[in-house]
Structures are given as C-alpha cells and as structure tokens.
Amino acid sequence: MQQFPRRFFALALSLISFTVFAFSLPAFSTPAQTAVNSSEAVGPKIAATAQACLGKKMWLGYGLKTGYLGCAAAVSNVLKKAGSSAGHSAAVTQLRNQLLASKCAREFIIRRGPKEELLDSKLNSIARPGDIVLAFAKPPESDWNGGGNAHCGILSAATEICTNDWNDGIWKKLNIHLMFDYYPYLRIIRIDRLSSH
C-alpha cells in the first residue's frame, strides 16, 4: 500500500517539472512574423529620414555632374542615413537589383504595363510609408531603362512621395502622380531590415 503513493508522487513531480520547463522556453516567431514586425519599425524610420532630408541635394557623392538624373543616388543616400546598406547606386535598375539581392526586402507590383493606371486605391491597399517606389518606361528587367526611362523615390504616405526633382536636383515631397504617372511599370520595394548583413 505504501508503493503506490511513492510512484504517484514521482509521476506528479515529473509532470510539474516538464510544465515549468515548457513555459520557461522563449517564444519563437516564424520568419513571416519576424519580417512583418521588422518592416513595421523600419518603414517609419526610412520615411522620417526622407522627410528630414527635404530641401537638400541628396544626389551628391555618386560622381554625377548635376541632379538631373540623381533620383537613385538620392534614394541611396537617404537609405544610408536611415541605417540601410541594402542599396547604393546611381542607377534605378541597379538599385532595384541590389535591394532584392540583399534579402532584406520584398517587392510588390503596382503597374504591369501601359494598359494599367496608377490607381490610388491600389496604392492605399499595398503601400506603406518608407516603401521605395521604382518606376520604369520598359519592363524592370529591360536594358532600356537607363537615364530618364526610370525614376524612384520614397513614400511618405500612400500618394505622397519624397523624390529627387529632376528640374533642380532638390529632394522634395510631391503627389506621386506628378512624376510617376508617365511610367507604365511600377514596383514597390519594402525593406524589412536596415542591414543587409
């Protein structure tokens, strides 16, 4: 009669020890949850940095003689100020390739070609402050997107964008339609982590 209580007590002690151990383990996030949590913090920081740079020549430092084609250089400098090393180029197509290769970012399609318009409703459903907008005259993978055939900027709101003004090379906040309606191919890149390492 004394053997049963001892076994019962040992079993109960084992169950209690296991329960305490299980609840003491750290909670792990899935990769998808980590990406979302990170981008929610990163986006506002990039947007705030873009706002703080308004009125400046942000294209300097990439060997350009003027700011006429300085949009990618300007975006790269703003990202650097925000703490991101994922993109650093004076060419829009190269900047896109670097951001995607960094594995710190995700791409969303806004316009697929001339038959689609740049709709506020689509921007409102997808875009977030701090997203990078990349616009192209030809499909993004084309070799014909150099010079004025591509443009880029950083969203401060769904339809407001901070970008290099090709008229005077000054970083300004504009309605996105003023400079981006012309381009039939438009992508948004969202950076999830500030470092590419």
Inside any domain, residue 33 = no
* Exposure b/e, 153-191, CB count within 10 A at least 16 = b: bbbbebbebbbbbbeebbbbbbebeebbeebbbbbbbbb
Let me know how long the chain is.
197
Q: What is the pLDDT of residue 158?
A: 84
Q: What is the CATH number of the domain that holds 60?
A: 3.90.1720.10
Q: What is the pLDDT of residue 41?
A: 87
Structural domain count of the chain: 1
Domain that holds residue 122: 41-191
Inside any domain, residue 96 = yes
Q: What is the pLDDT of residue 49?
A: 98
Note whether 151 and 131 are within 8 A (CB): no
**What percent of the chain has pLDDT above 70?**
79
Inside any domain, residue 103 = yes
Inside any domain, residue 30 = no
pLDDT tens, position by position, 76-118:
999 999 999 999 999 999 999 999 999 999 999 999 999 999 9
Inside any domain, residue 108 = yes
Residue with tokens 């004025």: 148
Helices (H), the chain: 3-24, 31-52, 71-82, 92-101, 120-126, 176-180
- HSE of 181, CA atoms in CB hemisphere, 13 A: 10
Low-confidence ranges of the chain (pLDDT < 70): 1-39, 195-197
Q: What is the pLDDT of residue 22?
A: 39
